[in-house]
Amino acid sequence: MNKIEIKKQYENELKLRNYSKETIKSYLSIVDKFLNFANNITNKEVKRYIIKSINNKKSTSTIKQKQSALKLLFFVLGKKDEFNLPTYKKESKLPEVLNKKDVLKIIETAKNPVHRLIIKFLYSSGLRVSEIINLKPKDIDIERKIIVVRQSKGAKDRITLLSNSLKEPLLKHLLENTPKNYLFESNRNKKYSKRTIEEIVANNSLRAIKRKIKPHTLRHSFATHLLEQGIDIRYIQKLLGHKNLRTTQIYTHIANSDIANIKSPLDNIK
């Protein structure tokens, strides 16, 4: 098979497995780059490809995703027994979380009302970037104060919170901008790109708190602040759409609900 035939067969396998559009796009990109990089499709070439990513300081999640995508490639080509890579150890890093004052500063700094609404949605509902750009007006129930997140990560629907404070700016947005398909659309009636959302958050955070943050930081902050409010972690798991509770439990390491009650020894020196 030539490269075009391999990629087509690989894409069909992803579709048969009902992978999300985002995953299909990412996996196809990885395979395409590997096929252009490798001299042939062997385990040795995969190792060489992954080592290059490691040397280029790619993130752990990126490297693990590449391994998963290429492992599936070997399966598609009937070479699954030839694929043999050690498990790439996941780094133990705590997610970046903002305090509530900094979140408020970022919101208030956003002068563009649409940008401000996007930031509010990311923080108040714990949405991923891919989820907010695919959000449609019909997915929002203002009266019940819920958002239906459709076919998100893992090809699953879930429900998350709609902040009561978003009701008025949301209705105003719908009235003034009359989006046709997606809640947030460009002037050409196309949904916002991931890049656009990232720039909105980065630019406003830089002005507000003197550093650039990623949209996912607002999601981390949403989860941590709920935990600090005393919300059961199992509810937070459902709101975030985590398959495994262990993924959600990372926030127990950064929530200060218990730590705040402990006095530093310095404060007891008289």
Among candidate residues 115, 220, 225, 242, the one labeled active-site is 242
Report the b/e string of 172-181 with b at 16+ CB within 10 A.
ebeeeeeeee
What span, in angstroms and rounded, lies between the C-alpha atoms of 192 and 182? 9
CA atoms within 13 A on the CB side of 56: 9
Torsion of CA 82, 86, 87, 90, to 10 degrees: -140
Q: Among this protein's residues, is 219 annotated catalytic?
A: yes
Amino acid at residue number 40: N
5 Cβ partners below 8 Å, 6+ apart? Answer: none
| Two structure tokens written together for 234 | 């199992």
Among candidate residues 71, 153, 194, 214, the one labeled active-site is 153
Among candidate residues 66, 116, 128, 173, the one labeled active-site is 128
Among candidate residues 10, 19, 27, 251, the one labeled active-site is 251
Q: Among this protein's residues, is 216 annotated catalytic?
A: yes
Among candidate residues 66, 115, 219, 225, the one labeled active-site is 219
Q: Among this protein's residues, is 242 annotated catalytic?
A: yes
Report the b/e string of 75-99 with b at 16+ CB within 10 A.
ebeeeeeebeeeeeeeeeeeeebbe
The residues annotated with a catalytic role in the active site are 128, 153, 216, 219, 242, 251
